[in-house]
Structures are given as structure tokens and as C-alpha cells.
């Protein structure tokens, strides 16, 4: 039953991962809303399988459907470079390899070590989470760099152009942070939609801008060659997996820090320079963050959880706290990761066929419409207003050449304020307490 | 051939060594032909770069949407206030909702102290047939203990808190600020 449920979850997660802009937590939220506590026997392994499958398969649209047109001239990510060079399938393979390697490390040696080291690690770090998050915020803002200002004659205009990109990043962080505060303390949603209160914000900040730019772009995805030989060596994979596990593990351990933020910190900590290492580490970081956070939920005697997935599952599934549940979670994760990796080539071919048949822009427009309908179904028209606002905020870094990771202010700022004991005061200061 | 060189050459065609060449004429000023990247106006000769209208419009729409939308969300939040909920209406989908509950205090207020400071306060509220435990921790518990001498059972209570609904456990209302507890 466990393996069947995990397999079904992996298949569903892979399918969801291939839909541009659809996050696994959106789907899990809908499942939890419909599920009953009596169904928890199949629900837990299904959840684990779905998270693992999505973490593996989401590399496909993120590499193949990211348009590096003129708006991205200053910042082309490695996956975009590969896709524009017709080597997108190779990039997907590298990312998936990173995820598979990290799945092995997480479930085998990690599975043995986590129950021993996590309680001590958590108890030691818990009083320090607040300043860790503040430090991450400071790093996020201070690491923004001017991308313009090197052209032209000089003077105030050149200075303004130079500062435009960091200013856009800071503005994005502030706006998303205030949005996060409002959604945390007084969301304009009914109590029944509270569990999915962040869904429209995340969809608007991260998914919708990407799809809007794709739909408006003139980029044409060239023919993608089969992966064939890659010039990535074992050393690249080892370095990428190590950096990814470090970043993803840090994100899974510290509340409020997401996989993207963990990957950014780990990339700087390990001095990443190579595109191949970056791709492998992205896959590893994403898998360790999402699957690792879910595994913490099942840790015997933990009493705490991490991540939205655990939060959603916890409302309908009560873990017994015994090793049996933890072993079930490990087995489901490992099986789902293996199955997802095995079907990645077929999924990639299918995805490319869809893009070729339907068109790059049409797929993005359809995905955008799908997200909008899904959001309205889950959270009503108030959720649509949040989605539209968050889309506006999320478009700022894309169009003004800053980094999208500044949108993480939506969780970082409320988390940092809350853990510092300043949450209610901050909410009162902006008049929403 | 280095990895980077291989990627860039397949990206831009033979002989190219700059990412920017792959993007064609839009990256160059139509008048002076200098590289201007994503700028709308050439910083050298002030000639409009001829960037797609869609992108230029999107930049303005993004700012407008973000600012106007934030204003609308703020107004909606401020106007709605904290929603009231009946205890019988609490379900798993209400997990983490910030709600107002009005009821009657059942039993006494329980406290726990550590080093002379109250670190935990809990009490039970009922609004008819259904009850819920309200709890406060840390500084909030200390503040409640200082400000609110506990009444006996039967007193009317209004509490604003965050619902914690977990499988296998009774729902709980977590108080985040001493001002969120009103006892009559």
C-alpha cells in the first residue's frame, strides 16, 4: 500500500511538476481540503511521493520554458543558456541527476543520521533562528549589485541607472514583506481559506511573472538535441550535490528560509562558478529542501515540523512519532525519487512535444489562466486581488533587472519579525493589528 | 575547448564571444549602433531604442499593479477586521486562521512559571456546546498574567488568536498579544 501510494504520488507530482507555474503545495492544499482524517493511511506516502516527484520534474519547465529575451540581457541563468543553445535536455538531466544523488544521500546516510543529530541541532539553533533569518535578509539585500550604469557619458543619469537595479530589488523586498505581514496578521480572506492564504501570494510573486514574460516574449525555443554526451564530470556532480545538500539542508532546518534562499547562500559559501555545478546544485537543493522538510515531520519524537507541506499534512494526518512512520516516509521518498528519475526522459520529450505543438507563448498563457482559475477556486475574488498584486510585485525584479529572490520578503520579513517577538508590534505599526 | 567557450559558441554561432550578440539588433542603438542592452533610450545619443512596446508597458503596469493592489489589500484588511468564528465551524481548513472567539470561561486559568516569570497561560472557552483551549506562551503569557487577574469560571471572554488545527489533537487558539484577551 505504501509503495503503491508513493508511486501514485510520484506520478501525480511529476505531472504537476510539468505544469508551468503550478506548485506542489497548491495541489496538496486542494487534496487536504478534500481529504478526511480516516484516509491518512494512503495520504502520507502519497504526499511524500508527490513532493519527491514534483521536486524532480519541476526542472523541466524551469529550464525549457524560461525565456531569455531582451529583458533578461543582464542576467541569464545557466538553464536558460543551455535551452537557448539547444542543450536544454542536457540541463534537465544534470538537474535531475543532482536531485537523484541528493535523494540517495537524504534517505540512506541521512535517514540514519537525522534522528540522532536533528533534535540536538534544533534545540541548539532554536534560540538563534531570529538573527539567522535577519542575517539572511541582510545578505539578500546587500548582495544585490548594480547591473547598469556602465554605459553612457556619466553624471547623475549614469548614477541613477546604476542604482536602479538594487533599488528595484529593495522595493521588491519591502513590498513583498508588507504583503506577507498583511497576509500573516489580517488576511482579507475568510477563515476557511486561511490554510491556503499564501497560495495566491506565491503564485503571483513567482509563477505568474515568469508566465507573463513568456507570453509577451518573442523568444523562440530552438530545437533541443538529445542529451548525448555531457562535459560534466564526476567532480562537477560531487561539488554540485554537496553545495545543493548544504543549501537545501539549511533551508529545511531554519524556518522561513526557502530552498531558493538556501541555494543562494550555499552557492556563495562554496564559491560556485560553473554552470554545470549550478544546475546540479539546483536539483539537489530543491529536493533536499522539499523532501527533507517533509521527513522532519516524521522524525520520531521531534514535536516540530518544517515547511508548508508538513503544515498541510499535519492538519489531516497525525504521525505516531514511532520509527515505523519515519521508515515509511524514507521508503516512500526513495521509491518516488527513483521512479521520477526513470520517467524524466519521457516527460521531457512529452513536454517538448507540447511546446512545439501548442507554442511557447500559448502554453504560458494557458498556464497563467490555469493558475488564476485555481486561485479563485481556492480563495475567491479576494485571492485573485492578492494574486494580481503579487504579480505586479513579482514583475518588478524581472523588468527592472533585479533578482526574483527578493520576492522572498513575503515569508522572510514576517518570519524574522515574528521570531524576534516584533510581529504584533510591526502589524500594529502598519495599522493591521 | 573550455566548457564556457563551447556553450557560448553554440549559443551565438561561430566566432561569437559575447552573449549579447545572440539577442540581435534590439540590444544595439538603432542610431549609433553602440551596445545599450535593455535600456529604452540610448545613453550615448538619446535615441529611443525601439524596444517592444509590450515590455515598456509592462514596466509601468507592474508598478501600478503593485502599488494600487497593495493599497486595495490594505483597505480590505483594515475594513474587514478580525473575523469572528463559532467554535462549531472550526475545521482543518481554518488552520492558522486569525479569528475572534467570544464565549464563556470554563474552569480556571492555568499558568506555568519559570524562574519567577509566567511562561504559559491556558484556559478553556465555550460558546455553547463546543469548547476550545486558548493558550499563550512566553512574553505574551507574562503580559497576560500581569494585566489580567483571572476571574472565576463563567465570566465572558473575547479572545483574538491564531487557530492551530492538527490531526489527532484538539484545536487550540494561540494568543499572540496580551491586548487580544478581553475578560469581562
pLDDT digits (tens, 9 = 90+) for A44-78: 899 999 999 999 999 999 888 875 555 455 566 78
Q: Specify the pLDDT at position B14.
A: 38
Residue B177: list chain A partners with CB under 8 A. Answer: 424, 433
Is 70 exceeded by the pLDDT of residue A304? yes
- Smallest Cα distance from A90 to chain B, Å: 12
Instruction: Provide φ and ψ at A29, rounded to 5°.
Output: -60, -40
pLDDT per residue as tens digits for the range B36-67: 777 777 878 888 877 777 778 888 999 999 99
Cβ A54 vs Cβ A290: under 8 Å: yes
Give ipTM to 2 decimals: 0.84
How confident is the model at residue B22, as a pLDDT? Answer: 44
To the nearest whole Å, the CA of A412 is away from the closest chain B CA by 17
Model pTM score: 0.87
Judged against a pLDDT cut of 80, whether residue A303 lies above it is answered with no
CB contact under 8 A, A396 and B63: yes
With CB atoms and an 8 Å threshold, state whether B70 touches A382: no
Contact B43 A187 (CB under 8 A): no
In chain B, which residue's Cα lies nearest the Cα of A157?
A: B43
Task: Tell me the β-bridge partners of B157.
Answer: B103, B183
DSSP strand pairing (B117-126 vs B98-114):
antiparallel
Q: Summarize the confidence of residues B83-109 as an average pLDDT.
A: 89
Contacts of A165 (CB under 8 A, 6+ apart): A74, A144, A145, A146, A147, A148, A400, A401, A402
A positions 250-309 inside 8 Å of B (CB): 274-276
Residues 6+ apart with CB under 8 A from A10: A49, A50, A52, A53, A335, A336, A337, A339, A340
The beta-carbon neighbor of A401 closest among B38, B163, B165 is: B38
pLDDT tens digits along A328-363: 999 999 999 999 999 999 999 999 999 889 888 888
For chain B, give the mean pLDDT. 80
Q: Look at residue B39 and give its three-state secondary structure.
A: coil
Report A:350-389 residues touching B (Cβ under 8 A): 382, 385-386, 388-389
User: Angle at the Cα of A378 (from A374 to A384), degrees rounded to 5?
Assistant: 70
pLDDT digits (tens, 9 = 90+) for A173-232: 999 999 999 999 889 998 888 888 888 999 999 999 989 988 887 777 788 888 777 778
pLDDT at residue B114, rounded to an integer: 87
| Separation between Cα atoms, residue A290 and residue A413, nearest integer Å | 21
> Is the pLDDT at B20 greater than 50, yes or no?
no
| Nearest CB neighbour to B38, from listed A73, A389, A391 | A73
CB contact under 8 A, B72 and A385: yes
CA distance A78 to B11: 12
Amino acid at each position: 500500500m505504501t509503495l503503491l501510494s508513493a508511486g501514485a504520488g510520484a506520478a501525480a507530482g511529476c505531472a504537476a511538476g510539468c505544469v508551468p507555474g503550478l506548485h506542489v503545495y497548491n495541489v496538496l492544499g486542494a487534496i487536504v481540503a478534500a481529504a478526511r482524517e480516516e484516509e491518512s493511511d494512503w495520504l502520507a506516502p502519497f504526499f511524500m511521493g508527490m513532493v519527491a516527484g514534483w521536486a524532480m520534474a519541476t526542472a523541466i519547465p524551469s529550464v525549457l520554458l524560461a525565456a531569455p529575451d531582451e529583458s533578461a540581457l543582464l542576467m541569464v541563468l545557466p538553464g536558460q543558456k543551455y535551452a537557448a543553445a539547444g542543450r536544454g535536455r542536457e540541463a534537465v538531466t544534470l538537474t535531475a541527476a543532482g536531485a537523484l544523488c541528493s535523494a540517495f544521500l537524504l534517505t540512506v546516510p541521512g535517514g540514519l543520521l537525522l534522528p540522532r543529530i536533528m533534535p540536538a541541532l534544533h534545540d541548539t539553533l532554536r534560540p538563534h533562528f531570529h538573527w539567522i533569518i535577519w542575517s539572511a535578509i541582510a545578505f539578500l539585500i546587500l548582495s544585490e549589485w548594480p547591473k547598469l550604469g556602465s554605459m553612457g557619458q556619466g553624471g547623475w543619469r549614469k548614477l541613477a541607472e546604476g542604482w536602479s537595479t538594487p533599488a528595484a530589488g529593495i522595493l521588491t523586498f519591502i513590498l513583498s514583506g508588507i504583503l506577507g505581514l498583511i497576509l500573516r496578521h489580517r488576511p482579507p480572506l475568510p477563515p476557511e481559506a486561511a490554510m491556503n492564504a499564501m497560495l495566491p501570494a506565491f503564485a503571483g510573486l513567482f509563477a505568474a511573472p515568469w508566465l507573463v514574460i513568456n507570453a509577451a516574449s518573442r523568444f523562440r525555443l530552438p530545437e533541443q538535441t538529445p542529451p548525448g554526451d555531457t562535459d560534466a564530470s564526476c567532480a562537477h556532480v560531487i561539488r554540485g550535490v554537496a553545495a545543493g545538500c548544504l543549501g537545501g539542508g539549511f533551508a529545511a532546518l531554519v524556518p522561513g528560509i526557502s530552498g531558493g534562499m538556501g541555494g543562494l547562500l550555499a552557492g556563495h559559501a562554496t564559491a560556485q562558478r560553473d554552470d554545470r555545478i549550478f544546475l546540479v546544485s539546483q536539483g539537489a537543493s530543491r529536493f533536499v529542501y522539499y523532501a527533507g522538510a517533509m521527513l522532519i515531520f516524521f522524525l520520531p519524537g521531534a514535536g516540530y515540523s518544517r515547511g508548508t507541506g508538513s503544515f498541510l499534512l499535519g492538519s489531516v494526518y497525525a504521525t505516531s512519532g514511532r520509527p515505523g512512520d519515519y521508515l515509511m516516509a524514507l521508503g516512500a521518498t526513495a521509491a518516488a525519487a527513483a521512479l521520477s528519475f526513470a520517467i524524466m526522459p519521457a516527460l521531457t520529450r512529452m513536454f517538448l512535444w507540447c511546446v512545439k505543438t501548442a507554442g511557447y507563448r500559448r502554453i504560458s498563457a494557458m498556464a497563467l489562466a490555469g493558475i488564476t482559475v485555481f486561485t479563485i477556486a481556492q480563495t475567491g475574488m479576494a485571492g485573485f486581488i492578492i494574486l494580481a498584486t503579487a504579480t505586479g510585485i513579482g514583475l518588478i525584479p524581472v523588468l527592472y533587472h533585479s533578482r526574483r529572490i527578493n520576492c522572498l520578503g513575503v515569508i522572510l520579513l514576517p518570519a524574522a519579525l515574528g521570531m524576534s517577538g516584533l510581529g504584533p508590534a510591526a502589524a500594529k505599526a502598519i495599522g493591521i493589528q | 575547448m573550455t566548457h564556457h567557450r563551447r556553450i557560448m559558441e553554440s549559443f551565438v554561432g561561430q566566432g561569437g564571444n559575447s552573449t549579447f550578440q545572440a539577442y540581435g539588433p534590439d540590444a544595439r542603438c538603432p542610431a549609433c549602433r553602440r551596445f545599450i542592452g535593455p535600456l529604452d533610450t540610448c545613453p550615448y545619443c538619446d535615441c529611443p531604442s525601439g524596444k517592444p512596446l509590450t515590455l515598456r508597458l509592462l514596466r509601468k503596469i507592474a508598478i501600478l499593479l503593485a502599488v494600487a493592489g497593495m493599497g486595495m489589500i490594505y483597505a480590505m484588511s483594515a475594513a474587514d477586521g478580525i473575523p469572528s468564528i463559532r467554535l462549531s465551524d472550526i475545521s482543518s481548513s481554518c488552520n492558522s486562521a486569525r479569528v475572534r472567539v467570544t464565549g464563556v470561561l470554563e474552569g480556571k486559568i492555568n499558568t506555568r512559571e519559570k524562574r519567577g516569570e509566567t511562561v504559559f497561560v491556558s484556559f478553556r472557552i465555550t460558546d455553547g456546546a463546543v469548547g476550545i483551549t486558548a493558550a499563550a506562551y512566553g512574553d505574551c503569557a507574562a503580559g497576560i498574567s500581569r494585566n489580567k487577574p483571572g476571574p472565576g469560571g463563567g465570566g465572558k471572554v473575547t479572545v483574538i488568536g491564531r487557530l492551530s488545527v492538527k490531526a489527532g489533537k484538539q484545536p487550540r487558539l494561540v494568543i499572540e498579544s496580551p491586548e487580544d484577551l478581553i475578560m469581562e
